[in-house]
Chains A and B, each alone.
Chain A
Amino acid sequence: MQRALTLFRRRVIGSIPVLLIVVVGTFFLLEAASGDAVDAYLAAIGGGDATLIQSLREAYGLDQSVWARLWLYLSSLVRFDLGYSVAFGRPIRDLILERLPNTLWLMGSATALSVSLGTALGIVAGARPGSATDKSLSIASLALYAIPSFWLGLVLSVVFAVQLRWLPTSGIETVASGKEGLDRALDIARHLVLPVVSLGVIYLALFLKVMRAGMAEAWRQDYALAARAKGLSRPRIVLRHIARNALLPLATMIGVQAAGMLGGSVVIESVFAVPGFGRLAQEAVAGRDAPLLMGIIVTSALLVIVVNLVVDMTYALLDPRVGASGGA
């Protein structure tokens, strides 16, 4: 536990400068936008006089210099204050906290699906590298990996929601259904099936491939031969010796893919009209709401950092050698 804590502290400190780069970089990117949030707001309400423009700019601090505003942004960020959304007329933090849970459910379920199924199929494929089962699973995973998730989402919704009517086409729950407790949870689960599958399939294929490759690599190691020399049962060799070691590269890959999955959920949320974090990003783009977009990017970077911290800790639990001093 001690070594996990040391690692944790080191990773947290290491991610601060990286996050700072993200904040400053995004700030200047959005600075380059022609027209600010006030312009967008005025366009939406149909224009306004010079005094209104001036007072709005002052209210949002837009009349100050770039550096003063950057400093202002950073100092409010430390207090978890992300500013105010002009398009929504609400604090950005509230908007994000409202939308984030839906996206976390979507990503969490898609990760659970892709990791569990990908690992299981990867073990089946990697149990005998080069076998017919291995080859067909590898080709199948490559094919799944080539399918764009948003298109898969559309096809699945045509088949399962429009044609078969088994599942709802869009949203996160039935509007004004008055459902409570377990009923409501089941309703949300039904709404999540298609988005989760659409988002998860590409990662399922990826994790299958990584697990399979990890097992093929483990079979080439001396401990694989040693396990056979010990006369252990085949399930024990495959699961406890080979697959157990192949979990290490898999864990790393989950961390690497966290950012990609968050990006993927933007499109999936649009396809299935899930009122989540990704959809908020799209609405920020549509409303030319730079502070909101900025808040979304900073939050997603934080989220990716947190996911990677969890993955690092998991890795440290899976691999006893991490953080150990001395020894080979």
Chain B
Amino acid sequence: MLARLSRSPEAMVGLVLIALFAATALMAPWLFPRDPLAIVGRPLLAPFTDAALPLGTDRLGRNVLAQLVHGARASLLVSVSAALVAILAGMVVGTLAGLAGGLVDEVLMRIVDAFQIVPGFLLALAFVSVIGPSLPIVVLAIALGVWTAPARLARAEVLSIRERDYVAAARVIGMHPLEIALREVLPNALPPVLALSAVLVAAAVLTEAALSFLGLGDPNIVTWGSMIAEGRNVLRSAPSLSIFPGIALVIAVLGVYLFSEGLSGALANRRVRA
């Protein structure tokens, strides 16, 4: 499986981009120990003119590169947490629905349906505006829009695994349904759900950016979306202020997509061979 992954050029390019993204995010406090929102120079310094401020400054004279690097941190934190919350919630609900069957399954799946017909972004917007913009709320808001995909997947996996021999055997030897779920079903349902996780992270990066672009992110944190929104005020005179964080977004998301493409290819091969 790993060998297959390493032979896929998409997966390798994706992995390099993700590593770049993660390394930037993790090293932000060491690279730019100062508050990225501090004013460091004259406003609207053009990029590539000052070696100390390679990407110039924004409307208020803040270091664009420092903001970009710290933005990676916010983006990574929010998107990975949102994906984790979504996967956890989705797997619990999906597994429960699949194992319980009957009325419980029916009710849970109608709730999943309900979440799928409400535009996730609109729901996130309403959620943040009602409870107020803070990092955990943004994470939850994003997770609200995407948890249905892992829920459906987990349920489908559970339903197919349930019929297999070793689960029937576990039932015969008198294991409690919950024990069967935890020890037999979940570990087997995990790989396809994890393959989905990359796509969820990418979607979360984009949603977070859109939310903070509309001013619904945590106001105390620099994000790529808020940088784009901020740069938009001077779009005509200094378009680079909006363009740089956008390019960072594209690179991060593209890296995750490339990796997930390679991963699902490797998983598909594993399935064929199994």
Contacts and interface: CB of A to CB of B under 8 A. Distances in A.
B81 interface: no
B126 A154 contact: no
Interface stretch (A23-31, A43-51, A225-233, A245-253): A23-31
A70 interface: no
A150 B228 contact: yes
A171 interface: no
Interface string B116-133: 111111110111011100
Contacts of B110: 17-18, 21
Interface stretch (A235-243, A293-301, A310-318): A293-301
Contacts of B123: 297
A26 to B, nearest CB: 7
B130 A32 contact: yes
Interface in A262-281: 262-264, 266-267, 270, 281
Interface stretch (A121-129, A139-147, A172-180, A192-200): A139-147
Given A33-B130, A162-B235, A293-B126, A143 B254 contact: yes
Contact of B209 (A18, A148, A259, A305): A148
B153 interface: no
A18 B125 contact: no
Contacts of A290: 130
A177 B261 CA distance: 49
Given A143-B254, A305-B117, A148 B235 contact: no
Nearest to B13: A139
A61 interface: no
Given A30-B126, A146-B202, A151-B228, A21 B111 contact: yes
Interface residues of A, number: 46
A157 to B, nearest CB: 8
A158 interface: yes
B214 interface: yes
A21 B122 contact: no
A297 B126 contact: yes
Given A21-B111, A26-B126, A282 B214 contact: yes
Interface string A6-42: 0000000001011101100110011011000000000
A304 B114 contact: no
A97 interface: no
Nearest to B118: A301
A285 interface: yes
A33 B253 CA distance: 33
Nearest to B216: A285
Contacts of B257: 142, 145-146
A212 interface: no
Nearest to B228: A151
A323 interface: no
B214 A270 contact: yes
B14 to A, nearest CB: 10
Contacts of A130: none
A115 B197 CA distance: 26
A155 interface: yes
Given A18-B114, A148-B210, A155-B243, A142 B119 contact: no
A22 B118 contact: yes
B177 interface: no
A191 interface: no
Interface in A99-117: none
A293 B129 CA distance: 10
A296 B123 CA distance: 10
Nearest to B106: A17
Contacts of B202: 146
Nearest to A33: B130
B130 A29 contact: yes
B130 A30 contact: yes
Contacts of B254: 142-143, 146
A25 to B, nearest CB: 6
Interface string B233-251: 0011001001100100110
Given A143-B254, A151-B249, A297-B122, A267 B114 contact: no
Contacts of B232: 154
Interface in B201-260: 202, 206, 209-210, 213-214, 216, 228, 232, 235-236, 239, 242-243, 246, 249-250, 253-254, 257-258
Interface of A: 15, 17-19, 21-22, 25-26, 29-30, 32-33, 142-143, 145-148, 150-151, 154-155, 157-158, 162, 259-260, 262-264, 266-267, 270, 281-282, 285, 288, 290, 293, 296-297, 300-301, 304-305, 308
Given A155-B242, A301-B114, 12 more contacts: A17-B110, A143-B254, A146-B202, A146-B257, A150-B213, A154-B235, A155-B246, A263-B122, A263-B145, A266-B122, A266-B214, A293-B126
Which 6 residue pairs across A and B have the least CB separation, nearest first?
A: A263-B121, A263-B119, A151-B246, A21-B114, A146-B254, A146-B253
27 contacts: A18-B114, A21-B110, A22-B118, A29-B127, A142-B257, A142-B261, A143-B250, A148-B249, A148-B250, A150-B210, A150-B213, A151-B242, A154-B246, A155-B239, A162-B239, A259-B118, A262-B122, A267-B121, A267-B210, A285-B125, A285-B126, A297-B118, A297-B122, A301-B117, A301-B118, A304-B117, A304-B119
